[in-house]
Amino acid sequence: MNIVTTATRLLLGTGLAFAGGSMFFIGNPPPQPGLAGQFDAVFFASHYALFVGAVQLAIGVLLLSNRFVPVALVMLAAFVYNSFAFHATMAPSSLFAPFVLVALALPTALRHRAAFAALLAAAPGQHQPPAAAR
């Protein structure tokens, strides 16, 4: 499982670092039909794409460097949610894309699941750290 976790973390980190970095060097993509095209036009014209690219680049660097991986995974969760919302509502033909990200992130998230215990506690203060962390 260690090899799978490392491989998926590196693959995800490389893809996000490349996608995030390319936002700074590649102009507007070819126009898409319908709402997705209108959204993309505003997304790139307002330079919001640069912010998203910077976040993707940061997530990729954190995953590649194996530092602050739980933070990177929380940031990635927000990105995947927005990606799913976009593809589900405006570009359903590529709805598989966010599911690929989830499939790649899942082994890494499971390896670091102890770091998410406090986030997933029903009430504040009820989280008990694992015995090894005390």
Question: For position 34, what pLDDT does the model report?
Answer: 86
Which regions of the chain are under pLDDT 50?
Answer: none
Question: For position 59, what pLDDT does the model report?
Answer: 96
What does pTM read for this prediction?
0.85
Is there a contact between 60 and 10 (Cβ–Cβ < 8 Å)?
no
Question: For position 19, what pLDDT does the model report?
Answer: 92
Query: Residue 126: which residues within 8 A CB-CB, separation 6 or more?
Result: none
Question: For position 126, what pLDDT does the model report?
Answer: 65
Residue type, 59: I
Burial class (CB in 10 A: 0-12, 13-18, 19+), 109: buried
Q: Which of 71, 69, 74, 56 is nearest to 111 (CA)?
A: 69
Question: For position 64, what pLDDT does the model report?
Answer: 97
Question: For position 31, what pLDDT does the model report?
Answer: 80
Question: For position 61, what pLDDT does the model report?
Answer: 97
Question: For position 128, what pLDDT does the model report?
Answer: 66
